[in-house]
Amino acid sequence: MASLAPTFGRGAMTNTWQDIKNADLVIVMGGNAAEAHPCGFKWVIEAKIENAAKLVVVDPRFTRTASVADYYAPIRPGTDIAFLSGVIRYLLEKDKILHEYVRAYTNAGLIIKEGYAFEDGLFSGYDSEKGQYDKSSWDYELDDQGFAKVDDTWQHPRCVMNLLKTHVARYTPEMVSRICGTPQDKFLHICEMIAETAAPDKAMTSLFALGWTQHSIGSQNIRTMAMVQLLLGNIGVAGGGMNALRGHSNIQGLTDVGLLSNLMPGYMTLAADHEVTFDDYMKTRLYKPLRPGQTSYWSNYRKFFVSFQKSMFGKAATPENNWAYDWLPKLDIPLYDIIKAFEMMNQGQMNGYICQGFNPQQAFPDRGKIRRGLSKLKFLVTMDPLDTETSRFWENFGPQNPADSAEIQTEVFQLPTTCFAEEEGSLVNSARWLQWHWKAAEPPGKAKPDIWIMSGIFHRMRELYRKEGGAFPDPILNLTWDYTNPVEPNPNELAKDMNGRALVELKDESGAVVKKAGELLDGFGQLRDDGTTESGCWIFSGCWTEQGNQMARRDASDPREAGIAPNWAWAWPANRRILYNRASADPAGNPWNPAKPIIQWNGSKWVGVDVPDYGPTVKPSDSVGPFIMNAEGVGRLFARQMMVEGPFPEHYEPLESPAINVLHPKVQSNPAVRVFPDDRADFGTPAEFPYVATTYRLTEHFHFWTKHARINSILQPQEFIEIGEALAKEKGIAQNGWVRVASKRGFIVCKAYVTKRIKPLMVDGKPTHVIGVPLHWGFTGQAKKGYGANTLTPSVGDANTQTPEFKAFLVNVESVSGPLV
Amino acid sequence: MDLSRRGFIKLTGATLATSSLGALGFGSCGEAVAENVRPFKLTHAKETRNTCTYCSVACGILIYTLGDGAKNARSDIIHIEGDPDHPVNRGTLCPKGSALLDIVHAPTRLQVPKYRKPGGTEFEEVSWDWALDRIARLMKDDRDKNFIAKNAEGTTVNRWISTGMLAASASSTETSYLTWKVARSFGMLVFDNQARV
Amino acid sequence: MSRPYGTLTRNSTITRLNHWLTAACFILLMLSGLSMFDPLLYWLSNLFGGGQWTRAVHPWIGCVLLVSYTGLIIQFWRDNLWTRDDVAWMKAIDKVLENKEEGVPEVARFNAGQKFVFWSMTLLVPVLFFTGIVIWEYYFGTYTSIPTQRAALLIHSLAAIAAIIIWIVHVYAAIWVRGSMRAMTQGWVTPGWAWRHHRKWFRSLATTGSTGPRPNSNGRLNK
Amino acid sequence: MSDLQSQDYIRRSATTMIPPDARSWEDQVAKLIDVTRCIGCKACQAACMEWNNLRDPVGEFHGTYDNPLDLDPKTWTVMKFTEYENPDGNLEWLIRKDGCMHCEDPGCLKACPAPGAIVQYANGIVDFISENCIGCGYCVKGCPFDIPRISPVDHKSYKCTLCSDRVAVGLEPACVKACPTGAIMFGSKADMTDWAGERIVELKSRGFENAGLYDPPGVQGTHVMYVLHHADKPGLYADLPENPKISSTVEFWKGLIKPVALVGIAAAAVSGFLHWVIAGPNVVQPEDEQEAEEVLEANGFPEARGRSQRTEHPT
């Protein structure tokens, strides 16, 4: 979550699922928790019943989450920043913030450099030719010692609080309503409900997911709410938090382990081209504290990196070769994300692609472009338990996949893999729990585990390099592979690798032996930067210690029913269940909400139901901030240079929008967004495509998998769109009638669900219609064949993460007599 | 678990039921009724703990398999339901989780490695060895041809961007760690997961 | 013509076959129907191979009966038209029951009692058929509303009971009035039987010289 | 009727004897469906299909989230969605899990003609015993909630069993276990009624003044109950009956007319017998033949002459 890290220091859900029951107000915006995460949503219901909590839903559609909400307000897709900036304005204007919290735990009082400015939709430093910012002015004013200057009285005109006030002043309720289409009274009612949680003993939790991320301003959507939560004092407390509800069972784990183009395990980042030497690389990763005495935990980066390289390359990683620094690839651009990858394919710059349990033909924007890209590959390897559309992209399935097989020269390998039930290992859930699971049965036919397949490819490659030589074989030949069964390494051994071990006898400062050589480490605190420890993923250190597999723990006891269950499985970091939990107590160490303390200072140490996300004996009087990953120790209302489009969130229209950006018509959409020229040519205009479309999941299905399952196919058998009664009437569309929905990029023909749950929104005086496009259908599996929502979606991503803008784009719709055949 | 009765009854039906059903219904005289009610199908099935493969709530599940693990019995998954001990889902499952059995046994589960040749109109079955040999050959040829050891400025960059990889979102952490090792040892940068979609 | 010499044809072969087909259907329907009507009589379903078979064959037999009874209607309706004689006969019902036919007004081919049976069945059979269709779950279960089906079930049952009671009367009458059974099994009656029970019918045959069953039937009495 | 050995029935279809009564000290169970916390996710539907090994064919979209559109022999529970605009102009999406209500006075059981095809256990569960089912469809007519469905394949009637197989071994029904939000609860009827009371208090505090428990007295209560936000208007929830009871038509059909009919039939038979005893058969007399011959002769048809001497009278 590249939006939470700039604010809090870590990009992950802050609280646990069960902790939601402690909330006094649950706001679901940018997500549809009841449908996408029903079993997590139970804790919202629990909060309502046990804690008299209120549930607020803000969504373009009246969803199944809204069906159990206390208050619902509609919003135009892609305008959440305007809504939430309006909330911030309301909170500041009515002085509904938790002052002591904001003063001590946020950067509200820190002073920003002269030169920082925001004018007409642009922050200071914009280079319109490159479409990028020079972000140097977006930072603190430092004193002689290199510490940020601070004015805790918030009098200084350039302190963050005052800059924020100025920044959000434009988001009046009238303006919010004009942009979002949310009726003013509904907006203000929600502001009032949110404001109540500024009380120290009240907490609001924000539950969100891809409804916020899948925008060209996705990261800033989330940041805006993160700022609201900081102002209300709702981070680190029971029932509070920014709860990013991850979509896939182990997407948190894959991100933690760094399976993204620029990442390494544990949120370390790969070097960029300009970081020529290891010292260059480390220079930008020193993370020196920006306020006196702060933890700034990333200052240990070198320990994590060296230990990782030892785990990767063992004896071949030496001080002499800078721990094999050059053996990892360097990035010449910020990201080789999926949109970039398919752009490269379409440009003929890629030859091979491996899809491990992934179905880009369904999942990526602009399906036509995906098919064209795959068609230009020399080879495509799919590894999946199921027959995916991607593996059959070359096959003609009629209008749903009009491929010309003979023209497509791609060699395709469809490799059958095991599924969850047929393998052992851990998965990291949204709340960062690593839970171990066991194998129940053998896979069908000749299906094999991914570990076996990846090992098979690796061994063959290594063998070829051994025999034939070739381009830079060193990392391949020296990759650590000392597994008991090299053909199929045991997950238990791999988990121990990630936990890390001592390579020599480790002694503490007093000379006492901490770990014998070869012993598993207890946690990342034992990592060293001299090559005497190894750890494949430092944040997981502690998951498998000499005490055994912590991820397999099954003690569900939960002291005080706090929603922590500290001995169930294991959570990173260091089994802390609620991140930043130091902030659950006031600066003196007493809980804000005495009824629901998480940790508190007992005079000598921090005690409570959770492991402190803090130095366990650091005294309150030391004024160490609760956001220990941040160099300033506090949460960031002003994100410094961490976001590409600005330190404060600003409302920009989606790339395809029916409305003019009324705040600054000259800067219509995110100025820092990356758009490839051919993709830009494929954007539609409101004249041709007058309706806003948004894509989403239905609770009966999981992406493109469950259409292979009979039961789920029974529960939602066929592709459809949702359309409001007013638009249906206007367009002569009958309930359950056939429609053709088209964007600039393609069209789908499917059934229409005419519903009262989508109503036209008055946006800047004009009625704006929203069309809902569920995304589950394709041409394999048991459900009826469908086109897939990604036929329509634009190929553009969030400026920071390149998450595709699936949630707001333009389409047209018309009634048709029947399906195409 | 340390739960008050009030808290207990309110959590979920699942937990409630396990507590009080001994005193209800068929508890004491199941045998007679069992002549007529459907026989309980899990009596001797093996139970395996697992985690739901779908979203990141990560509900605990219990997988029931046919066969007791004897050498001559091939276990077959016959039923999957929620793990009542799991602190998050407490035995509950959503419509996807409740239907996990049908994804395990989906008719479109892949059984054998298949290969489609350039311009081909259908898949043909191939052996694992053939497939992996061919993949390694293609990858090595591409890597050797397109590997970038140094950029224009002469900086060592050691990257390979003409072949990319998407990593699974539902594979285990251990699988993903191994995948990371393999992919990065090749110098791959076009490397992504499903966090965005 | 198997009619013995000197006797009259009461029912033609076709009529008799038709009647007995109807009778067989009726009896099967009654047995199967009663088995589904009252649990006390569920054991009757064993005659049909169990409840499932009983449920399955009952409506089909009903269809056969409908066709079969339609045949009877075609053959009998003219002789069952109500006349003034029937009123007179009804008034003398006490004498009929006492077997004192001397005082009973003369009747034609059918007396009022027989006509009552005929018309009752003519009414009940279609009622049973149509209500039966409504409650024939397999083919027609979805065509009507459940309240309609409930009403149909009730009407079907009531009609069936009425039919059964009438059937009992009919059967008893056949046992009671000697010679009637042979009239339907072998088809003939003696002139004395006709004289005693259906004098007007007898007279009509005697005047036209027909051997029956109707004055214009083909069979001729010998001169 | 070996299943009468069971001592846990309190009702058994088409059975004239009283089921064994001695072990009557048994708690009643109930499933409580709290519509106000249901998110319509259909986990209950999925769990029901999975546990009971039911799989319909894959259908099609019908302009609603209701899928399958209705109960059928392989769908024992369905979610019914209703978009309702309340008098304040706000939208409510009312979602009701439809399925067998397990009436205390089950209309299906009352209507069933097949002995032991429908039983009610002492804990209140109404179960269909397929072996005994004859597929007549009377249960369909007897049910006030339109629940049972007859399979066109095997001609058996099907509906929710309340997972009697699970309850029999001390587990909750599959739908109850699955329900993510705890909208379906299971326990003793007394506990469920109490809990519903608490829920109603809470709902009233949230402004649902007409919140209430649906446990219709017309069928002597049900073992599947609903908590409704608008208990005054159950019809809003996809036509949940306002005051369900066994139809008077069915009551009459299965009540009074059964004995009356048998008595009527017996009376007819007995009357005939008595008439036979009292009046005896009506026999053609020789005088009748004589007179008939005379009439024939008078009309010029001597055919019958002497016939009375040649032929025996029918006896």
Decide the pairing of beta strands A809-816 and A761-763.
Answer: unpaired
Residue A520, beta-bridge partner list: A501
Phi, psi of B24 (to 5 degrees): -110, 165
The answer to whether A330 and B155 are in contact (CB under 8 A) is: yes
Q: Which amino acid, B141?
A: D
Q: Which domains does chain A have, with CATH numbers?
A: 5-247 (3.40.228.10), 274-329+498-550 (no CATH), 338-429+439-468 (3.40.50.740), 677-816 (2.40.40.20)
Tell me which residue has tokens 């224009």: B152
Catalytic residues of C: 170
The region of weakest confidence among A522-526, C200-204, D103-107, D297-301 is D297-301
Determine the distance in angstroms separating the CA of D188 from the nearest CA of chain B, rounded to an integer.
7
B95 → chain D, closest CA residue: D43
CB contacts under 8 A, B 94-153 vs D, are 94-99, 101-102
pLDDT above 90 for B19 = no
Q: What is the pLDDT of residue B168?
A: 86
Q: What is the pLDDT of residue D303?
A: 58
Q: What is the pLDDT of residue D310?
A: 44
Contacts of A699 in chain D (CB under 8 A): 39-42
Nearest to A785 by CA among A307, A398, A319: A398
Q: Do A68 and D37 touch (CB under 8 A)?
A: yes
Give the single-character DSSP code of A542. T
Q: In chain C, which residues have pLDDT < 50?
A: 1
Q: What is the pLDDT of residue B20?
A: 36
- Give the other-Cβ count within 10 Å of B162's Cβ: 22
Question: What pTM was computed for the model?
Answer: 0.93
Q: Do C169 and D250 touch (CB under 8 A)?
A: no
Q: Which amino acid, D13?
A: S
Quote the CA–CA distance of C173 and C155 in Å, as a whole number: 27
Mean pLDDT of D137-151: 96
Whether chain B lies against chain C with 3 or more Cβ pairs closer than 8 A is no
The full DSSP string for A30-71 is SS-HHHH-HHHHHHHHHHHHHH--EEEEE-SS--TTGGG-SE
Contacts of D288 in chain C (CB under 8 A): 192-193, 195-196
Contacts of D206 in chain A (CB under 8 A): 70
* Range list of H helices, A134-209: 160-168, 173-180, 184-195
Residue B159, beta-bridge partner list: B148
| Residue contacts between C and D (CB atoms, under 8 Å) | 209
Contacts of A327 in chain B (CB under 8 A): 158, 185
Q: Do D182 and A757 touch (CB under 8 A)?
A: no
Q: Which amino acid, A515?
A: K
User: For D170, which of B22, B36, B81 is closest by C-beta distance?
Assistant: B22
B21 → chain D, closest CA residue: D170
For chain B, say whether A536 makes contact (Cβ under 8 Å). yes
Determine the distance in angstroms separating the CA of B46 from the nearest CA of chain A, rounded to an integer.
9
Mean pLDDT of D235-252: 95
Decide the pairing of beta strands A71-73 and A263-264.
Answer: unpaired
Q: Do B182 and A246 touch (CB under 8 A)?
A: no
Tell me which residue has tokens 């159950």: D234
Q: Do C195 and D295 touch (CB under 8 A)?
A: yes
The answer to whether A770 and A692 are in contact (CB under 8 A) is: yes
- Residue A819 is encoded by which pair of tokens? 């399906």
Q: Do D26 and B32 touch (CB under 8 A)?
A: no
User: For B131, which of A350, A413, A454 is closest by C-beta distance?
Assistant: A413
For chain D, say whether B13 makes contact (Cβ under 8 Å). yes
D40 → chain A, closest CA residue: A64
Give the single-character DSSP code of A800. T
Q: Which amino acid, C48?
A: F
Q: E-strand spans in A65-140? A: 71-73, 118-119, 122-123, 126-127, 132-133
Q: Identify which has the larger pLDDT, A765 or D313.
A: A765
Q: Identify which has the larger pLDDT, A343 or B16.
A: A343
CB neighbours of A488 closer than 8 A, spacing ≥ 6?
A449, A451, A452, A455
Q: What is the pLDDT of residue D91?
A: 97
D196 → chain B, closest CA residue: B10
Q: Which domains does chain D have, with CATH numbers?
A: 2-245 (3.30.70.20), 258-310 (no CATH)
Decide the pairing of beta strands A126-127 and A132-133.
Answer: antiparallel
The answer to whether B63 and D9 are in contact (CB under 8 A) is: no
Give the single-character DSSP code of A753. E
For chain D, say whether C51 makes contact (Cβ under 8 Å). yes
Determine the distance in angstroms separating the CA of A65 from the nearest CA of chain B, rounded to an integer.
14
For chain D, say whether C207 makes contact (Cβ under 8 Å). yes
Q: Do A479 and B164 touch (CB under 8 A)?
A: no
B77 → chain A, closest CA residue: A441
- Give the other-Cβ count within 10 Å of A402's Cβ: 10
Q: Do A784 and D60 touch (CB under 8 A)?
A: yes
D132 → chain B, closest CA residue: B36
Helical axes A367-375 vs A338-346, angle rounded to 10° = 50
- Give the other-Cβ count within 10 Å of B34's Cβ: 17
B161 → chain A, closest CA residue: A350
Q: Do C191 and D293 touch (CB under 8 A)?
A: yes
Contacts of A711 in chain D (CB under 8 A): 46, 49-50, 55
Q: Give me the interface pTM, i.e. the ipTM.
A: 0.94
pLDDT above 60 for D58 = yes
Quote the CA–CA distance of B21 and B41 in Å, as a whole number: 18
Greatest C-alpha distance within chain A: 83
Which residue out of C38, C41, C93 would a mutagenesis test of the D interface target, given it has the greatest number of D Cβ atoms within 10 Å? C38
Mean pLDDT of B64-90: 94
Q: What is the pLDDT of residue B32?
A: 39
Using left for φ > 0, alpha for ψ between -120 and 50, and beta otherwise, residue C50 falls in left
Angle at D116 between CA D111 and CA D121, to 5 degrees: 95
For chain D, say whether C137 makes contact (Cβ under 8 Å). yes
Whether chain A lies against chain B with 3 or more Cβ pairs closer than 8 A is yes
CA D92 to chain centre: 32
Q: If one looks up domain C12-80+111-188 in CATH, what number appears?
A: 1.20.950.20
For chain B, say whether A476 makes contact (Cβ under 8 Å). yes
For chain D, say whether C36 makes contact (Cβ under 8 Å). yes
- Residue A706 is encoded by which pair of tokens? 């469950």
Give the single-character DSSP code of D9. E
3-class secondary structure, A381? strand
> Subunits that touch chain B (at least 3 Cβ pairs < 8 angstroms)?
A, D
Q: Which domains does chain B have, with CATH numbers?
A: 1-40 (no CATH), 41-107 (3.30.200.210), 110-144 (no CATH), 147-197 (no CATH)
Q: What is the pLDDT of residue D17?
A: 82
Q: What is the pLDDT of residue B27?
A: 38
Phi, psi of D184 (to 5 degrees): -115, 120
Which residue out of C153, C175, C220 would a mutagenesis test of the D interface target, given it has the greatest number of D Cβ atoms within 10 Å? C153
Q: What is the pLDDT of residue C127?
A: 98
The full DSSP string for A614-662 is S-TT--GGG---S-TTSTTSSB-SS-TTSSSS-SS----B-SS-SS--S
DSSP collapsed to 3 states, A422-468: HCCEEEECCCCEEEEECCCCCCCCCCECHHHHHHHHHHHHHHHHHHH
CB neighbours of A336 closer than 8 A, spacing ≥ 6?
A261, A262, B161, B164, B189, B190, B191, B192
Q: What is the pLDDT of residue A421?
A: 97
Quote the CA–CA distance of D126 and D159 in Å, as a whole number: 10
Could you report the per-residue pLDDT of C206-222, keeping only the tens digit for each?
888 888 898 888 777 76
Q: Mean pLDDT per 10-residue run, chain A (821 residues)?
A: 85 94 98 97 97 98 98 98 98 98 98 96 96 96 96 97 98 98 98 98 97 96 98 97 94 95 97 96 92 94 98 97 97 96 97 96 96 98 97 96 96 98 96 97 97 98 98 98 98 98 96 96 97 98 98 96 96 96 97 97 97 96 96 97 97 98 97 96 97 97 97 98 98 98 98 98 97 97 97 96 96 96 76
Determine the distance in angstroms separating the CA of D177 from the nearest CA of chain C, rounded to an integer.
33
Q: Do D282 and C101 touch (CB under 8 A)?
A: yes
Residue A342, beta-bridge partner list: none
Nearest to B114 by CA among B143, B135, B138: B135
Give the single-character DSSP code of A407. G
| Residue contacts between A and B (CB atoms, under 8 Å) | 515
Q: Do B9 and D191 touch (CB under 8 A)?
A: yes
CB neighbours of A601 closer than 8 A, spacing ≥ 6?
A585, A588, A589, A590, A619, A620
For chain B, say whether A430 makes contact (Cβ under 8 Å). yes
Q: Do D121 and B25 touch (CB under 8 A)?
A: yes
Q: Do D249 and C222 touch (CB under 8 A)?
A: no
Quote the CA–CA distance of A317 and A325 in Å, as a whole number: 8
pLDDT above 90 for D4 = no
For chain C, say whether D285 makes contact (Cβ under 8 Å). yes
Residue A402, beta-bridge partner list: none
The DSSP element (H or E) to which C114 belongs, if any, is helix C112-134
Tell me which residue has tokens 């006969």: C89
User: For A718, which of D56, D60, D206 is closest by C-beta distance?
Assistant: D60
Rounded-to-10 torsion of CA A392, A396, A397, A399:
130
The answer to whether A622 and A608 are in contact (CB under 8 A) is: no
Domain ranges (residues) in chain C: 12-80+111-188, 85-110+191-223
Q: What is the pLDDT of residue B194?
A: 80
For chain D, say whether C49 makes contact (Cβ under 8 Å). no
Q: Do B98 and D43 touch (CB under 8 A)?
A: yes
Contacts of D176 in chain B (CB under 8 A): 13-14, 17
